[in-house]
Amino acid sequence: MSNDDTAPGIDRRTLVSILASLPVLSGTLRATPAQAQVSASDPLASWNDGPAKQAIVDFVRATTDRSGPNYVAPEERIATFDQDGTLWVEHPIYSQVVYCLDRVPAVVAKKPELKNVEPFKTVLSGNREAIAKLPLRELEKILVATLTGMSVDEFNAEARKWLESAKHPRWNRPYTELVYLPMLEVQRYLRDNGYKTYIVTGGGQDFVRVYAEKVYGIPPEQVVGTMGGTKYGYGKDGKPFLTKEPKLLLNDDKAGKAQGIHLMIGRRPYAAFGNSDGDREMLEYTKAGGGARLAMLVMHDDDKREYAYGPARGLPATKVGAFSTALDDEAKTKGWTVISMKNDWKRIFPFDSEARAG
């Protein structure tokens, strides 16, 4: 396998470092999908007043004012959102990576000959240090084994089942509850103003589609992610079905996000939201269009309520969703708005009580 056509679903560059911070295998508890409780009076009720909130309101006003110079026709109103770290928690590691590791026992149960074969043997051992030392080529085998080789329907069922039972180690809640209420409000506010909202994620397109409609109100056809090929075949009953193949069509990260937007949407967004260096090109591509364009970056600077990582502004360095000083500088130069989780967000999660907020 070449470097370019394996590893569907994950940015391989970050994999090694991600695995260094492995969580325990997740427990079981039924998930309740998060629902935004948006005040009727203020569509952005979870936002503190400030430049970030103002930028969103100004953008919506400018692009929906028919008499203004920056009016955007309804069919052109496209807004794109990165997912990991922008819409939901990405630390200590991406949820989809946890999914892949959690799936290893099931894969080995079906193919017992893998039990003593690397990298499966090491993953089954649960030895974090050893897992982190696995070579990239070996780690790719885990992704291929857990994300491909099954039918689309089987994959969807497996992912759905996992999402209903897996829990984040810090909050002991399903991953689908760890979504940022202020971003749910932005999505709804944009949709209420005629915007079509898309997820544009480095995560696997098929994985995110499983829950995007329930969690974000974003249908499968509006999820752009890292894309793998499929194969058309027939079951014993003669019915056709698609099998997920270990063939990478597009790594939807960095420049791949602009490419993915062109491929899947065919229009340039008017608003784009991200949180890391992987979103740089998406914001740049968005801003390169004419008229009013909104580019925003979530900065994780709230260790108390969520996490703090940069390395921009002296925040702790990370390889999971890094926000570099270069990105921060570019944001200043180009008029991209940085959202401070600590200062701009009154509440972080839908389950945060109003009382605890602020």
Is 150 a binding residue for its own copies by CB under 8 A? The answer is no
Is 79 a binding residue for its own copies by CB under 8 A? The answer is no
**Count of other CB atoms within 10 angstroms of residue 340:** 17
Q: Report, in Å, the least distance between residue 309 CB and its own copies.
A: 26
Is 329 a binding residue for its own copies by CB under 8 A? The answer is no
Is 206 a binding residue for its own copies by CB under 8 A? The answer is yes
Is 164 a binding residue for its own copies by CB under 8 A? The answer is no
Beta carbon nearer to its own copies, 132 or 242: 242
Is 73 a binding residue for its own copies by CB under 8 A? The answer is no
Is 1 a binding residue for its own copies by CB under 8 A? The answer is no
Is 220 a binding residue for its own copies by CB under 8 A? The answer is yes
Which tokens go with 178?
């760890």
Is 15 a binding residue for its own copies by CB under 8 A? The answer is no
Is 215 a binding residue for its own copies by CB under 8 A? The answer is no
Beta carbon nearer to its own copies, 20 or 249: 249
Is 333 a binding residue for its own copies by CB under 8 A? The answer is no
Q: Report, in Å, the least distance between residue 117 CB and its own copies.
A: 31
Residues 228-267 vs its own copies: string with x where CB under 8 A?
-xxxx------xxxx------xx----x--xx--xxxxxx
Beta carbon nearer to its own copies, 112 or 240: 240
Name the one range near its own copies by CB under 8 A: 167-175, 181-189, 216-224, 343-351.
216-224
Beta carbon nearer to its own copies, 70 or 230: 230
Name the one range near its own copies by CB under 8 A: 25-33, 221-229, 297-305, 336-344.
221-229
Contact positions vs its own copies (CB under 8 A): 75, 152, 196, 205-206, 209, 213, 219-221, 223, 227, 229-232, 239-242, 249-250, 255, 258-259, 262-267, 281, 284-285, 288
